Structure 1
Amino acid sequence: MSTDPLPLGWDLAPSPFHPGELAIQRRVGVVDKVDAQGRRSVRRYLTEQHRAFFGLLPYAFVGTVDAHGQPWASMIVGDPGFIAAPDAHRLEVAGRPLFGDPLNETLRDGAGIALLGVQLPTRRRNRAIGVVKRAGPNGFAIAVRQTLGVCPQYIQGRDARFTADPRKPEPRPVHRATTLDAAARAIIEKADTFFVASADPREEDGEAAGPDVGHRGGRPGFVRVDDAQTLTTPDFVGNFMFNTLGNFLADDRAGLLFPDFETGDRLYIAARAEVIWDGPELAAFVGAQRLVRYHATEVIRVERALPLAFSAPDWSPLLARTGTWAEADAAIAAERDRNVWRPFRITRIEVESDSVRSFYLEPADGGGRAGYRAGQFLPVRVEPPGWAAPVTRTYTLSDSPGGTYRISVKREGRGGVSDWLHDHATPGTLIEAMAPRGSFTFETPPNRAVVLVSAGVGITPMLAMLNDLLVNDGRTRHHAPIWFVHGARNAAGHAFAAHLRRKAELHANLRVHTAYSAPSEGDAPDSVGRIDVALLKRVLPFDDYDFYLCGPPGFMQGLYDGLRDLNVPDARIRFESFGPASVARRPDAAAASDEEAVRVDLAKSGKVLRWRPRDGSLLDTVERAGVAVLSSCRSGVCGTCATRLLKGAVEYPEPPAHEIAEGEALICVGRPRPGAHLDDSADREGVTLDL
């Protein structure tokens, strides 16, 4: 045997990933990052840690392929030590497949095999892929050709104890079918764990080809039985290697194993896999990046077939930001009532700074929560005792989509809604809310650097975006650098400071810079003063950035103008401003010339304006022309901006929540409908407003 030192990572020129895996990585925008990651972490041998790990296990999971090319996921069981690694290239398994397990038919010399070791109590897992050697009645060997330490996400901790001799599998009732019966449905619908086998059968894919087996975990109810032959499950954030989904591009056949940890039943399903990349169900399922629909072709259920008894689950902390199908269905139903005021109960209040408090909201009517995208806002209505009428406000949702709504409200000190929330709201207080909405959302590709710049309570949409991008205590959905630049008066007024520090510690691609305009003694900001373009030039390394801005109007306009003066394209600057003013944009010359303008006449002031799609709402356009208009919510909720429409028609990107009276327009969300071309210009006819 060679005594040459083993390579630190993947030592072959071809990628450790096959074309199917690379295609999914490319689609998600992570192919370059994952190539580097794979060459570090995928090896062609067992590390010392792997060898010790497999020797500790009383069970493991196996992926194999039968004579017809159908993958199957299986489970092997034995006293700790039944899996041994005599050297870095070989695993020895002492024991027979469980009774009724498809592994009894697929285990043959020369066959490909994947072995997934999962230590449920510690949530550790490692994978080895190789070729079966010396398969016999008392065990088999694996010639290892690829190994990987797999991320321990969504694993429920469980202790196990033997209830029978694993070396003597006993006959059990076996049920075979082509559809899911009531017993199979019951196992699936309560499952918090299953295993999926897949395979790339193409020999030309070399070392990256062959079978695989992976773990999937979630809250009970995360797998839905659609009908007698179909089930659908979310695909949560993982390691971005996409071994399973990549295999489905090469061969869409899958093998599923659902162990029933309570009864000892094992449910095996052969299926065809379909990956779903968008749609309302995906949008409604919290934490899902994709959906996978499995169409069953064969079902095997073996009763009471595990020689192990398992403890109740210790739930993975990562499940807090994942959903269930019941919650997704409720969210879809809530979306249908998106413009209905519904009661919400404040369940928790947290102090974030000397002027900002967070309020956590849950539906009080038994319904669900409509989904949202990070950066959107929540329309809120309150009617405190003694107030003349209900008052509507909009507050940005300050956390990524998860198990609740969170708004973070700054005390304004003018006796309005924000002050009432700070002074009188307690856990149990009821307010009203509509479904979230808004266009300020994250749109940057994952391979482009981004800068999130905020001031004061403008941190709220930026924090929601950041939490949506950087997940699971170290995983990132955005693989390029992220700069988070925030301005506050001092440390006492800096909301979410500890959270940002924690994020920066966990995520290598995040850099945080804090500027305090009036620091107190003992404060330690990264810089003193207000955020401006000069600061950004000093702080940011040379790169091609997208910018997201949120804060007071003057802050927004100054940064926008400064970035445009540096030739940052208008389309690469997105913003959300608080208050009545909007940012005056300066479109790129080429973009401006490509867009037709629509004429907007203001009857009272005599002004003639030109509106283009990038100008935003009619209210934005009118305010930039210096015409004052009463407005409040800027989201089509309150109706304050309703304006007489003297000519033309107004369109709305989404139906406003407030009723639109005949002959009026809600200009805070409305846009002019283009008419015919004007005789004397390339512009189109538009609208006449009574302003």
Structure 2
Amino acid sequence: MDTSPFHPGELAIQQRVGVREQMAGAGAAGVRDYMPDQHRQFFGELPLFFIGALDEAGQPWATMLVNDAGFITTPDARTLHITGGMLAGDPLQGQLRVGAHLGGLGLVPTTRRRNRVNGVIEAMDAGGMRVAVSQSFGNCPQYIQDRVQTPVAAAPVAQVLRAAALSAEDRALIARADTFFIASANLDAQARRGQGVDVSHRGGRPGFVRVDDERTLTSPEFVGNFFFNTLGNLLGHPRAGLLFIDFDSGDMLHVAVEAEIIWEGPQLQAFAGAEQLLRFHVREVVRNVGALPFRWSAPKPASQVARTGRWEEADRAQQAAALTGRWRPYTVTEVVRESASVQSFYLEPADGLGVAAHVPGQFISLRLPGDAEAGAAARIRSYTLSDAPNGRRYRISVKRDGAVSSWLHEHLAPGARVELQGPGGDFVFERGTRRPVVLLSAGIGITPMIAMLNGLLVNGSRTRHRHAIHFFHGARNRDEQPFAEHLKTMAAGHRNLNVHIRYSGADGVASDIVNWQASSGRIDIDWLKTQLPFDDYDFYLCGPAAFMQQMYDGLRGLNIADERIRFEAFGPASVRRNAAPAAGTARRAGPAQHVPVQFTQSGTSALWDGSAASLLALAESKGIAAEASCRSGQCGSCAVGLLSGEVEYTRQCSADIAPGQVLLCSTVPAAGSAALTLAL
């Protein structure tokens, strides 16, 4: 094609999500103005074909044509001929005409293969209609449910029900649907080669389309091929046509709607896997009862839907979002060994409530019961969630290293109960960044990096981050490295991911995966310089305290801006920054204010001068072993009594603490405070 196949609406959506440059290359090249031979053969073998077109009032409708295999032919690579196939009572019956735009979709559920063809009707007669092809392209098999169809006798007389709103039967069909089709259009002159009608497939777990009321539906948009044909059309032309199929009865439910795109909000955040939401306002409903001469077997769900949600879960997640500051009971449902010293624990709510949505990189706090007879208090530890959200359960991956982690390894079997609080934390991937990223980890610091990867790289080959991702991890040896096979699978499926594992106590491992490597040695700045042509990267760090401090200092020594270096640290592993945070990220007393601080239990005195990030950091700089876990004001383990003076908080905290206590990790002396005394 001599011009872009994408019209301004599609380009605007691509620009918004950061893929416009990439889609201008390989994406645009995949859209042809002729049908490849394999597509021509594919269309010719179909007994059914989905189309989208406009009625005389300009309303798009989606429908299915049905006939014997061979009713679609391709006299040449730029011509599609369709003989019959429209069922009585179809809302497009009598609406198609010469010069009208038509969107076509061929789909075979058993192979999950689908191909698209759009064009203009250039001739119609008793023998069918001839379509001049303007766009032809394949679609990936994502979200297609595997069903086997069986021919049956169609209803002798079609019963067609028309209404302005959804009936109870209509709402029930939509509420249990795992598939629908959507037709949309853009006939603007400036659309150029992108001008026309499109019909697309949508799939998910049953319950992924919400029936808000008899005139409103809401559906998620999952990661797709980044063409954004539907969203691009709806951006300027919100009318659309939906088709739901009752695979048991053969009913076709056509719904004419007006659509709006929802880009943000609590509903979107709560729905696992959703990139956007589409809200449909019903204009007209046509139900063609028992019209289809097929029935279908029970579906085999597409693998991609396992990480997506449904509205029942999303509603519960929104309710759970208000409870992140409370301790809630969870049940261990599965335990998986990831390495010689790391186990993953899968946790589901035991209180009948939902799982609050999290962002990859965030953590939960876990509370273990104390020993009342021995006078031991409950123990709190924070653990990164080691997987992307799925709306149903959490995963933490724990290295056996210390009393609490050893207790978890020994006692947490399926069926065990624990108390969790959260999720929370600020160590998350910067959404929308267009810079290449470097994920640097060592030891169990791999957990937030795996969560981020699982959130960014999805469905076998799709990526939410279209730029390079460099994943560097240090481990003692192969037995101590968690998620080894998972990383190899990710590297094999995603060309923008480069993985390099460094083994400090073993030889490197040969690999036939181009972008997966292993070598012997430790990760340090000198080695890192041999692996990266230092440029405009975002860096993410997690690992032991010494490792992170070394990497941070080394990166700053290479003039990497402080704000480009993000890190996570629990317990004593706090990195000392050598640059103030960006304006507005934290409120602290200025360097000119000197506040004496007395720690009574340790008998230690210190002088606050504004250089420490928090009172916790000040205490640790004086060698005080302060109890601390999450370091973000969530778990409450760093709470101590404030005996005199005033403090101010640097962040909003969710921990529930007793009157007279303060959270060391999130407080600094208040402006104007003369002195502080803390029970530590």
| TM-score by shorter chain over 0.5 | yes
Residue 137 (structure 1) shift? 4.2
Q: Which residue of 2 aligns with 1:561?
A: 553
Structure 2 matches for 1:6-405, cutoff 5 A? Answer: 11-12=1-2, 14-164=3-153, 170-383=156-369, 388-402=376-390, 403-405=392-394
Q: Which range moved further: 437-446 or 255-264?
A: 437-446
2:230 match: secondary structure: helix
Amino acid at match of 2:139: V
Matched letter for residue 657 of structure 1: A
How far is 1:258 from its partner?
A: 0.7
Q: Match for residue 507 of structure 1? A: 494
Single out whichever of 628-637 and 339-348 deviates more from structure 2. 628-637
Aligned residue runs from structure 1 range 251-650, under 5 A? 251-383=237-369, 388-402=376-390, 403-412=392-401, 414=402, 416-443=403-430, 445-519=432-506, 526-587=518-579, 597-598=589-590, 599=593, 601-604=595-598, 607-611=606-610, 616-624=613-621, 629-635=626-632, 636-644=634-642, 646-650=644-648
Q: Which one-letter code corresponds to 1:309 in the other structure?
A: R
Q: Equivalents in 1 of 2:532, 2:7: separation in Å? A: 37
| Residues in 2 aligned to 1:89 and 1:600: alpha-carbon distance in whole angstroms | 79
Are residues 592 and 332 of structure 1, via their aligned partners in 2, closer, same or farther at CA, if it must alter by over 3 Å?
Answer: closer
Contact 2:596 2:674 in 1 (8 A): no
RMSD: 2.4
Closer, same or farther: CA 672–154 of 1 in aligned 2, 3 Å: farther
Instruction: Kindly provide the amino acid, as one letter, of the partner of residue 5 in structure 2.
Output: P
Contact 2:105 2:116 in 1 (8 A): yes
Letter in 2 for 1:459: I
Q: Tell me: CA distance 1:593–1:50, structure 2 relative to 1, closer, same or farther (3 Å).
A: closer
Change over 3 Å in CA distance of 1:270–1:625 after alignment to 2: farther
Q: 1:587 to 1:429 in 2, by over 3 A?
A: same
Work out the CA distance in 1 between the residues paired with 2:605 and 2:271: 50
User: Which SS does the other structure have where 1:313 is aligned?
Assistant: coil
> TM-score of the superposition, structure 1-length normalised?
0.91
Q: Which amino acid aligns with 1:656?
A: S
- Of 470-479 and 141-150, deviating more is 141-150
Judge which range, 178-187 or 487-496, deviates more.
Answer: 178-187
Equivalent residue of 2:70, what SS?
coil
1:321 aligned partner, one-letter code:
R
How far off its partner does 1:300 sit?
1.1
In 2, Cα distance between the equivalents of 1:156 and 1:686?
Answer: 68
Structure 2 residue identity aligned to 1:19: P
Deviates more, 1:596-605 or 1:397-406: 596-605
Residue 37 of structure 1: CA displacement?
2.2
> How many Å apart are 1:601 and its aligned residue?
2.3
Once the two structures are overlaid, the 10-residue window that deviates more, 429-438 or 193-202, is 429-438
Which deviates further from its counterpart, 36-45 or 563-572? 36-45
The answer to whether the 8 A contact 2:436-2:537 is kept is yes
Who is 2:601 aligned against?
Answer: none
1:449 is matched by which residue type in structure 2? Answer: P
Q: CA deviation at 1:311?
A: 1.0
Q: Secondary structure at the match of 1:668?
A: helix
List per-residue Cα deviations over 1:183-242 (Å, max 9, x = no partner): 110111010000011111202221111111110000110000111211000110001111
Q: Match of 1:94, as an amino acid? A: T
Q: Secondary structure at the match of 1:434?
A: strand
**1-side partners of 2:282 and 2:267: how far apart?**
21
CA displacement at 1:667 relative to structure 2: 1.6
Q: Are 1:667 and 2:659 matched, yes or no?
A: no
* Partners of 1:629 and 1:641 within 8 A in 2: no
AA paired with 2:382?
A: T
Deviates more, 1:247-256 or 1:471-480: 247-256
Secondary structure, counterpart of 1:105 in structure 2: coil
Residues 277 and 312 (structure 1 numbering): CA distance in 2 closer, same or farther, change over 3 Å? same
Residue 588 of structure 1 deviates from its aligned partner by: 6.8
Q: State how far apart, in whole Å, the 1-side matches of 2:262 and 2:231 are.
A: 11
3-state SS in 2 of match to 1:435: strand
Paired residue type of 2:501? T
Distance 1:243 1:672 in 2: 55
Structure 1: runs of 5+ lacking an equivalent: 1-10, 679-684
Distance in 2, Cα, partners of 1:486 & 1:23: 37
Which residue in the other structure is 1:681 paired with? none
Deviation at 1:624, TM superposition (A): 4.7
The separation in 1 between residues aligned to 2:669 and 2:14, in whole angstroms, is: 41
Residue aligned with 1:439, SS: coil
Alignment of 1:655 with 2:647, yes or no, is no
Q: Are the aligned partners of 1:219 and 1:319 in contact in 2 as well (CA < 8 Å)?
A: yes
Cα distance in 1 between the residues matched to 2:613 and 2:7: 45
Distance in 1 (CA, whole Å) between partners of 2:385 and 2:594 is 34
2:654 aligns to what SS in structure 1?
Answer: coil
Contact kept? 2:638, 2:664, Cα under 8 Å: no
Describe the superposition over 1:98-142 as per-residue Cα deviations: whole angstroms up to 9, x where unpaired.
Answer: 122122133111100000111111101100010113223442121
Tell me the distance in 2 between the aligned counterparts of 1:418 and 1:29: 41
Q: What percent identity do the matched residue pairs reach?
A: 50
Kept in 2: contact 1:551–1:578 (CA 8 A)? no
Aligned residues: 663
Alpha-carbon separation, structure 2, partners of 1:105 and 1:687: 85
Per the alignment, do residues 459 and 596 of structure 1 end up closer, same or farther by CA in structure 2, a change over 3 Å counting?
closer
- Give the secondary-structure state (helix, strand or coil) at the position aligned to 1:559: helix
Deviation for aligned residue 1:159: 1.1
Distance (Å, rounded) in 1 between the aligned partners of 2:524 and 2:468: 20
> Offset at 1:640?
3.7
Give, as a single letter, the amino acid of the residue that structure 2 aligns with 1:293: R
Match of 2:514 in 1: none
Shift of residue 586, structure 1, vs aligned partner:
1.6
Instruction: For structure 2, list consecutive stretches of 5 or more residues without a partner in the other structure.
Output: 512-516, 599-603
Question: Could you tell me how far apart the structure 2 residues matched to 1:359 and 1:27 are?
Answer: 37
Q: 1:472 corresponds to which letter in structure 2?
A: N
Amino acid at match of 2:363: F
Q: CA deviation at 1:579?
A: 3.1
